[in-house]
Structure 1
Amino acid sequence: MNLFNVYPLFNINPVKAKGSFLWDDKGEKYLDFYGGHAVISIGHNHPYYQEKLRDQLEKISFYSNSVQNELQTELASKLGEISGYEDYDLFLCNSGAEANENALKLASFHNGKSKVLYFSGSFHGRTSAAVSVTDNPKIVAPVNYSERFIKSEWNNVEQLEEVFRTQGDSISSVIIEGIQGVGGIMIPTPEFLSRIKELCDQYNAILILDEVQSGYGRTGYFFAHQEFGIQPDIITTAKGMGNGFPIGGVLIHPKFEASHGLLGTTFGGNHLACAAAIAVLDVIRDESLIDNAEHMGSYIEKEIEDLPHIISIRRKGLMIGIELDRDCAEVRKSLLYDHHIFTGNSNDKTVLRILPALNIRKEETNLFIDALREVLTKL
């Protein structure tokens, strides 16, 4: 049997990782400035993270959600405390797409409505409803298309208001990323987010903030939307939540009423996943990584803003989009093969996406800055 060939792969086989570095099967060392799509939040193989997982493996690694699991309660308590959403409830699942599926479903259960408003440039996952609110026709199969899903233009308040004026009574929820990641680090305007919240309240629609990539301290706030002072009805999270261990979560406003069987999952919130997620929160808190994300992100921006071929830098914390005056593929390949630095791209082919671990140090950022300077100067 062969693997189903759906991924374009770099010819690199990492076999070891530590902190912000990877080593391949040939012993070559690489700086990780992408974190596997913002997944590596506290660095590869953080010693405290490893210890928590090892300890849990010696106790119990899995049982279903038909029994008590005190790790889930600990995770919910710590997540509520560090995020500021202590009065919300937590539903645990396995991924960002699954978190968004459950959020959309819960919203529809709550208000009995069926339409969902999403935005151009969005990415919310590849599963049924999540891909239906993702703005990429290449990955939306015919079975996923439905008139229930309405697309509106990003940061366009006038169009947003028109959609609500004509269809607001049937809109169950609005789903929006705290910052668009795959879309190219697109940041919502305060006016746009505030108006979405006002219209959701006016029309009894549920506001879902997808913080799968932009959450967990990456932007200098625990969740990106907190900079703008709005409170969503539902928040979804994953990626950096487990530092590589699959886990996702749905934070749910207390106005929602739970009932047995309303939502469910086999693997979500298992013992190992919770141990990983608790370790991540402990490290974020104890090492002040939210502050470090903003500090190091600001340092990177200041050091590269005057480099040639850069049109703009879109940044919040360590969620950075570098817009070039050309396709970024050549720059990305040179960084990888000539300088051994992993970076990312986006649906906007001109945007180089930077998502290092939140505990990145100045010495490591300087490696990236010097390499980028050399690559851009030689273009």
Structure 2
Amino acid sequence: MVVLAVAVFVMLSSCAVGCLGNKNSTELKLWSMENQSMALQLAAVLKEMERLKCEQTTLQQQQNALTQVYITSHQKRAQKEVAGTNILTYGSNDEEEDNLPFSEEDSRKRGDPCFHYTVLDQAWRATNTTTKNKMCDRNFKWKGWYRLFYNGKSLQMPEKCVPVNKCGTQSPLWLAGPHPKRREGIVTRRVCGHWKKNCCAFRSTPIQVKKCRGNYYVYKFTEPSSCYLAYCADINTLVCGRCRRNQSCVSRDKINWRCKGKKRMSSKKIHFFASYPGQLKGKVNRVKYSKVLVNVGRAFDRRTGVFKAPVKGVYQFFFSTQTANTGLKTDLWLVVNGYWAAVSHTHISRPSTVGSLSTYMTFLHRGAVVYVTHNCGSSWANAASMTITFGGSLLAQWK
């Protein structure tokens, strides 16, 4: 009997340690083999076995509950079904941002709607769609920012009045103002609903709009003022989703859109070089440099001798003269917008010939006028020497 009791005790002890671990192991009561009967010892052992089995069941239930919480938290990030249309959320409001769908490190900012928006891909919103069942966006619980798609392709709101009974509703909502440029950030725009030949019969609650890198827009939609009103997705702007980063989406009639390359400020080239193949004596208000060798950008007019700045920026000019009259002072002045800005001066004290070259750098606004005046003295040149010259270049263009 002693052997049997000891064997049962060892079995229960190992079970308790395996199921509950060292920390939660059960301390079994030892009975005196001399003072207790075999029946009482067996009853106590069976009771202890039932208690251990109950604790093991409780621990198993707790483990299952924790597993279910973990699975549920991950399922919330999956695709949601709203009104029978797939609406996917890009970005996250949680602390983890490891799964953002964009790889641009500098643009991963908390609260930036360009990377935290909901995809709104509902075909009935297209400007060419008419349905029997009229939709009303007042019944939709708008929250946060949205980006419009049509069958997986990015597009934007219309900027022109949409005919009634389009966009899956009675009074289509369109953007009563231009989409912003990226440097403008987040802007507020009015939204109008077309009804009974009045393009702005319904003036709904204004919305916020932002342009993002990649030529797409995000919208912070709000509940319309009444039913049946719904936000439109302009089917004509599908081409805008194909524009490159150095292109902008433009339209003259707000119906036909196209991608247009942006002008690079540094691409503008302005250079000119001209000479006067003759003699100048005394006062000449404006030297007409008739021989033009370089005129990139066509900013210099050979008939008047005037350079007119085509763009705003930093320019550098040079002008020269040659004199040979002893004791005679010769001055040429560079005139900028009517002001005498720089002089080319010579004064010969003995028989010889002297050349003089002057340079001048300045900032000019578009339309500024620059020319050279012969104030006094005598200058000479011929077709081969080119000693009386005038030239300049655009060094840097400003926006």
| TM-score between both structures, scaled by the size of structure 2 | 0.20
Larger radius of gyration: 2
Structure with greater proportional helix content:
1
Bigger RCO of structures 1 and 2 (CA < 8 A, at least 6 apart): 1
- When normalised by structure 1's length, the TM-score is 0.20
